[in-house]
Structure 1
Amino acid sequence: MTDSTTLPAEVVRTGPIRYATAERFARPRPVAAGDLRPSSGEIAPQPPSRLDAVMGSPRDDHPQGEDCLNLSIATPARDSGARPVLVWLHGGGFSSGAGLLDWYDGGALAAEGDVVVVGVNYRLGALGYLCLDGVSEGNLGLYDQVEALRWVRTHIAAYGGDPSNVTVVGQSAGGISVHLLMQLPEARGLFRRAILQSAPIDLTARPHEESLELGRIFADTLARDPNTADVPAILAAQNETALTHLRRSGRTMEPAFMPVDGIAPLPGPGNAAEDAEDAEDNVRGIDVLYGWNADDMIVFCRDEDDPVKRTREVYEVPLARFGARLARAGARAHAYRLDWRPAGSPLGAAHCLELPLLFGTRDAWRSSPMLGDTPWEETDRFGRALRAAWVAFARTGEPGALPAPLVDVPVPGLS
């Protein structure tokens, strides 16, 4: 990726841009005024994705390193257009992925919808979510996302965007991040709308004591100072900790390193009144679009599991509860389900299937297993319809009549 290159659709792709810096296990700091150093172009250190068999492997290669707080921008023009802004937070179980990947090229969204698309890197794994006394408080990747949103508020007008009309969009772990940002006081006022794609909402955050215990397992496995250990050693200990957590818990979806509890929940039964009031203040009046893919859990199920039942348990039912809480809190919510099942794919409407409908190009998604043998022209035809709905929501707060293969799902508590 190069700076200020023009895509065939006359979309300017700018980046990578460093939006913040951070010492290891410290909160991010905004880039100092006058710091004109070029971005490293690095993405967060990470192992291969556990969903390579579904998505395929990324076709582009980026250096990995701790100077990874970089973002990219796709915009129709660097002018005073004041366009709606979509800020993308990738998935990957808080352990893999990057906003700079070609999978997440926002060029089609920007060109078709006359919007600005920002793809964000954030810290992953132990470097982003370790919770360990005297070393790391946890949630550093979440605070990276807050700093990226602050950068957008300050700088996006120079890229043709409207800082007062920002929609934060996340898929899977990125959707969990959006859920938490909706509750985080530091993020208040940084976005106007939110889209959550296939967010396993019941995995939002791990209890603090359990997070500390996993942190201690990580430290014992690493057997050296986490502040000075080299990155390969960090990743190796991270992997061993994940295997230990899986053996102990049996929870196949839950990563070893993820957000830590302590963020005020959305209002609901059993929450303290003052916490509910704080959370309600955060979400009252915002627009939210959330949903899932009809066969989301097929990629996570064990042989004895029923993917339909597990999708209902992990996505449909928890998201319905989420929608009801949003309605009670005064948010304006819309829900969807993606039913598209590509020809030639045994995975159906699997987790991540909406991604090539929203982002990337034919080349970026070439040979992706979840697309089967469906011609790119058909994928792009569905993609145009999906992108139009997302753009309409970012522009107005209303996705409009959802086009097939999207299904409009009623939000509990909303008439």
Structure 2
Amino acid sequence: MNLRGALLAAGAALLALTGPALAAAGPVARAPVGAVEGRLDGTVEVFKGIPYAQPPVGQARWRPPTAAPDWQGVRKATAFGAACVQPVAAPGGIYEDPIPPMSEDCLSLNVWTPKGAAKAPVLVWIHGGALTTGASAEAMYDGRKLAERGVVVVSINYRLGVLGWLAHPGLSAESAGGVSGNYGLLDQIEALRWVRRNIAAFGGDAANVTIAGESAGGLSVMYLMASPPARGLFAKAIAESAYMISTPELKAPAHGHPSAEQSGLALADKLKSPDIAALRAMDAQALTRAAAAAGFAPFGAVDGKVLAGQLVDVFDRGQQAPVPILAGFNAGEIRSLRMLAARPPASAAIYEAAIRERYRDLADAYLRLYPPTNLEESILAATRDGLYGWTAERLAAKQTAIGQPAYLYLFDHGYPDADFAGLHAFHASELPYVFGTADRVGPHWPKPPRADAEQRLSQAMIGYWTSFAKTGAPTAEGQPAWPAYDRSRAYMAFRDAPRPADGLMPGMYDLHEEVIRRRRAAGDQPWNWNVGLWSPVLPGR
């Protein structure tokens, strides 16, 4: 070998050196899966884009995730991984946020950890987006402020839309268990398994993991609580604006839904794909767009294995994960989700007549809560409560019933930009306060002011959320004690400041619980967005 060749070879060998032989520019975590190099952000070490599962591409599309293989050397972890494939959002929407490049190779996670942490509590964040959109890279989910309070924060990507939630007889036939669908949920479970194996290397305590999410992330938290394979992978749960709606059964129609497999067959027919091989041959982005345009709605499938039963049934039987819970919703949920609510009719008389026809002997109770005096506000409130309010209180009630601490909240905070736009306490508006990221909201998000009062509210919420992750009891320095739900049905109201109270919206939970009890008993009515004027005629007592 000549001198030039020898120098080139020596240079290549030097570049390949990792670990102690070559000093890393940023912090290094040496996990069982392999070493990763992140960066230091103040007192917080940040590691991004760590793969937790192998790419679900080709023949691996629509199969349960497989753990990412271990690696040698030090892997750079300073940039977010690709977002999972999803439809491109229409510009100008309130929830529009720059999404990183998309790929089927998207099963990655990110870690924020206090420098020098050891046995710290862990919070695993599951993003929202109707199981259709979103990514762990969204700026509002930055975990630094939570990590500064002594919590290791992990945020994850999981398969979305048709790629994450398609059930089909052909896929069930491939499965050893004879089931299909729920791939996005299985991804979440695989990420929790990665945390259990590796998080100690980042200073986290694998025995003290809190799962947390908002909207579809809150739905995912409930799925995980009801999923036998997820049992033992977490110790606490936080569900923000979750919705305990009916979901398809895998094999048979139930509660007004076609079976999940039948929905998969119908989609394949619309896409002119005779079998799974044809669907796997489609470009991921084209398939995702086509499925969304065809009306495919991603949800979990009750298969008796990954999802043991309808969420309401699992929680009624006390078969959910026996863990403390923090759950709540926002006063203005539907103000930014008006597609979920019926338009006001021409008159109060039409409204009242329609409610009496649909709600029968429950109409008086309904009209007391949602009177015809202000049709728009009553319709918004009824839709909010039928989805989010009832779910939040039900979670608190059902965890209390199995002897677990439960903490309920109502976020009813407004600020000028949001209130002026008619978006007081809108869906997801608590998130910048929980994460301390009011300066990182999307381009069309009403901007929270920089006022001291806003900072105090955010600091209080960060305190409550992180202390719950640590101990299972939410506390915040200098703030009122947050009472457990218990028999007094206590809750915390977040308005201009945290204020504890008892008896949230008297009559709300009991009305919607009775409505859904009757629908379940009838067996042919879903419970989801069919509230108020969109409700079918309810079954009798």
Question: If the length of structure 2 is used for normalisation, what is the TM-score?
Answer: 0.66
For residues 288 and 266 of structure 1, do their structure 2 counterparts lie closer, same or farther at Cα, with a shift above 3 Å needed? farther
Matching residue within 109, 116, 119 for 1:71: 109
Aligned residue in 2 for 1:121? 157
- Report the aligned-residue RMSD: 2.8
Aligned residue in 1 for 2:301? 260
| Counterpart contact for 2:328–2:393, Cα < 8 Å | no
Aligned residue in 2 for 1:16? 49
Structure 2 distance, partners of 1:206, 1:323, is 24
| Counterpart contact for 1:69–1:121, Cα < 8 Å | yes
| Counterpart contact for 2:324–2:399, Cα < 8 Å | no
Structure 2 distance, partners of 1:169, 1:385, is 18
For residues 145 and 386 of structure 1, do their structure 2 counterparts lie closer, same or farther at Cα, with a shift above 3 Å needed? same
Matching residue within 206, 214, 217 for 2:263: 214
Structure 2 distance, partners of 1:310, 1:190, is 33
For residues 41 and 146 of structure 1, do their structure 2 counterparts lie closer, same or farther at Cα, with a shift above 3 Å needed? same
Structure 1 distance, partners of 2:45, 2:143, is 10
Could you say which structure has the larger radius of gyration?
2
SS at match of 2:242: coil
Structure 2 distance, partners of 1:18, 1:143, is 15
Structure 1 distance, partners of 2:444, 2:311, is 40
SS at match of 2:193: helix
Matching residue within 370, 381, 384 for 2:459: 384
Structure 2 unpaired stretches of 5+: 1-35, 173-179, 345-375, 476-480, 483-491, 510-541
SS at match of 1:31: coil
1:24-103 aligned at under 5 Å gives the runs 24-34=61-71, 41-49=81-89, 53-55=93-95, 57-59=96-98, 61-77=99-115, 79=116, 81-103=118-140
Q: Which amino acid aligns with 1:369?
A: W
| Counterpart contact for 2:87–2:289, Cα < 8 Å | no
Aligned residue in 2 for 1:250? none
Tell which has more relative contact order, 1 or 2 (C-alpha 8 A, sep 6+): 1
Aligned residue in 1 for 2:3? none
Q: What's the offset of the Cα at 1:82?
A: 0.9
For residues 258 and 3 of structure 1, do their structure 2 counterparts lie closer, same or farther at Cα, with a shift above 3 Å needed? farther
For residues 31 and 324 of structure 1, do their structure 2 counterparts lie closer, same or farther at Cα, with a shift above 3 Å needed? same
Deviations 1:128-157 (A, max 9, x none): 001111136100000000000010011011
| Counterpart contact for 1:19–1:30, Cα < 8 Å | yes
Tell me the matched-pair count. Answer: 387
Q: What's the offset of the Cα at 1:410?
A: 5.3
Structure 2 distance, partners of 1:411, 1:11, is 40
Deviations 1:301-353 (A, max 9, x none): 34325212221222222332333222223322111110101212221101010
Structure 1 distance, partners of 2:463, 2:310, is 29
1:202-351 aligned at under 5 Å gives the runs 202-203=245-246, 205-208=247-250, 209=253, 210=258, 211-224=260-273, 225-242=278-295, 256-262=297-303, 263-265=307-309, 280=318, 282-284=320-322, 286-301=323-338, 302=341, 303-304=343-344, 306-345=379-418, 346-351=422-427
| Counterpart contact for 1:45–1:231, Cα < 8 Å | yes
More displaced, 181-190 or 354-363? 354-363
Q: Which amino acid aligns with 2:472?
A: G
More displaced, 79-88 or 11-20? 79-88
Structure 1 unpaired stretches of 5+: 246-255
Structure 2 distance, partners of 1:168, 1:94, is 17
Aligned residue in 2 for 1:6? 40
Structure 2 distance, partners of 1:46, 1:350, is 24
| Counterpart contact for 1:167–1:394, Cα < 8 Å | yes
Question: If the length of structure 1 is used for normalisation, what is the TM-score?
Answer: 0.85
Asked if 1:165 is matched to 2:208, the reply is yes
